């Protein structure tokens, strides 16, 4: 089962621009994670934000979490062609032990 939705489903931007992806989920969570997946490859863990945190930074990545709206956003600043990939949010639900993935956003950064 999938936890929620991500938007946009696909995003095409120019190198140097910022990319923002959103994720919504349905149940109470312990934490939310963002992953990157290059075409046909495995997952790369980007960042984890706990339910009691509102914002987190890692390099060019900025993640926000709004538990009242059950949503999160991932901002990639100064995008590069190498950022072209699919990005997924995933949640660890309260009381559960499973990680459930969102639908993903396919990002294409044009050089």
Binding region for other proteins (CB under 8 A): 1-2, 30-31, 35, 40-43, 45, 48, 50, 88, 90, 92, 97-104, 106
Smaller CB separation from other proteins, 14 or 94: 94
The secondary structure of residue 9, as a DSSP letter, is S
Segments of the chain assigned E as strands:
5-7, 10-14, 19-24, 29-37, 43-50, 55-58, 61-66, 71-76, 85-93, 99-101, 105-110
| Shortest Cβ 22–other proteins spacing (Å) | 15
Q: Which residues are paired to 76 by β-bridges?
A: 19, 61
| Shortest Cβ 43–other proteins spacing (Å) | 5
| Shortest Cβ 16–other proteins spacing (Å) | 27
Which of 102, 103, 105 has its CA nearest to residue 87?
Answer: 105
Contact criterion met (CB below 8 Å) for 89 and 26: no
Smaller CB separation from other proteins, 31 or 73: 31
Smaller CB separation from other proteins, 19 or 88: 88
Smaller CB separation from other proteins, 43 or 61: 43
| Shortest Cβ 27–other proteins spacing (Å) | 14
């Amino acid at each position: 089962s999938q936890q929620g939705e991500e938007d946009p489903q696909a995003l095409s931007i120019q190198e140097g621009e910022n990319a923002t992806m959103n994720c919504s989920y349905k149940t109470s969570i312990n934490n939310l994670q963002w992953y990157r997946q290059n075409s046909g490859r495995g997952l790369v863990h980007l960042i984890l934000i706990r339910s009691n945190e509102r914002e987190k930074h890692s390099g060019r990545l900025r993640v926000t979490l709004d538990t009242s709206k059950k949503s999160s956003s991932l901002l990639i600043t100064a995008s590069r062609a190498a950022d072209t990939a699919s990005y997924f949010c995933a949640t660890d639900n309260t009381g559960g032990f499973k990680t459930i993935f969102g639908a993903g956003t396919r990002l294409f950064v044009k050089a």
